[in-house]
Homo-oligomer: A and B are copies of this chain.
Amino acid sequence: MKLNKSQIGKLDYRFRIRLINSISGPKPACLIGTKSVTKGVNLGIFNSITHIGSNPPLIGFILRPNEKVRRDTYDNILEEKYFTINHVNSSISERSHWTSAKFDSNISEFDVCNLTEEYINNFYAPFVKESHVKIGLKFSEKIKIKSNNTFLIIGEIINIYIDNFLIEDDGTLNLEKCDSLSVGGLNTYYKLKQVSQFPYARVENLPDFT
């Protein structure tokens, strides 16, 4: 399939959304948990979680605040400043996916999707008990993306909760052992299988590929 800009624009609307949502490659499947005094708790699945930097430890994600579930997450983070990111694993993938339905604001996705709110060490926002990788973050920056009126929301990692056996000796999280899922497009979930590990690439150690 070869498509130029004009042909992409003429694709069937739903076909185009699925193609463009999947063409950026494997995305992380994560649940973002928030809470607000006025609206209660909220949980939504996101696939735009991105590593922003290690020092300070920052994670970002894209928000389209014109959708209901996104709007609640957006409002809660701006209002209360704290949120959680929780990896989706295969035992909770279906329940996690359904948090994307447009429930009323006063309904907790934890309740209707049968996921368990967990509060650790007085952190304000709810973690997902069933997740194996839980991150607590403090809101750091909201950046407007003019190209399509969305926002990049950035948080600083404040807390990390992971079972020790999921972390390699060098600090790398073993995503296969974590059973962390990847998502393609809007609704296809993939398991990960580790296939290779390469050393830090120094020019003087370059293998002979020719």
By a beta-carbon cutoff of 8 Å, the part of chain A in contact with chain B is 1-5, 8, 11-12, 14-30, 47-60, 62, 64, 85, 87, 90, 93-95, 97-103, 112-114, 120-121, 133, 135, 140-141, 143, 145-148, 150, 152, 154, 156-164, 167-168, 170-176, 180-182, 184-203, 206-207, 209-210
Contacts and interface: CB of A to CB of B under 8 A. Distances in A.
B172 A53 contact: no
A22 B172 contact: yes
Number of copies: 2
A169 to B, nearest CB: 9
18 contacts: A1-B164, A3-B160, A14-B170, A16-B57, A19-B160, A23-B51, A23-B59, A25-B180, A48-B52, A98-B198, A98-B201, A99-B201, A141-B146, A172-B187, A175-B188, A188-B196, A190-B195, A192-B193
A4 B50 CA distance: 21
A98 to B, nearest CB: 5
A121 B4 CA distance: 10
Contacts of A56: 147-148
Given A148-B53, A190-B175, A192-B182, A198 B97 contact: yes
Given A2-B161, A93-B195, A25 B171 contact: no
Contacts of A100: 201
A164 to B, nearest CB: 5
A52 B145 contact: yes
Task: Tell me which of A26, A99, A157, A180 has the highest count of chain B C-beta atoms within 10 A of its own C-beta.
Answer: A26
B175 A25 contact: yes
Given A26-B26, A52-B62, A163 B207 contact: no
Nearest to A114: B209
A3 B87 CA distance: 17
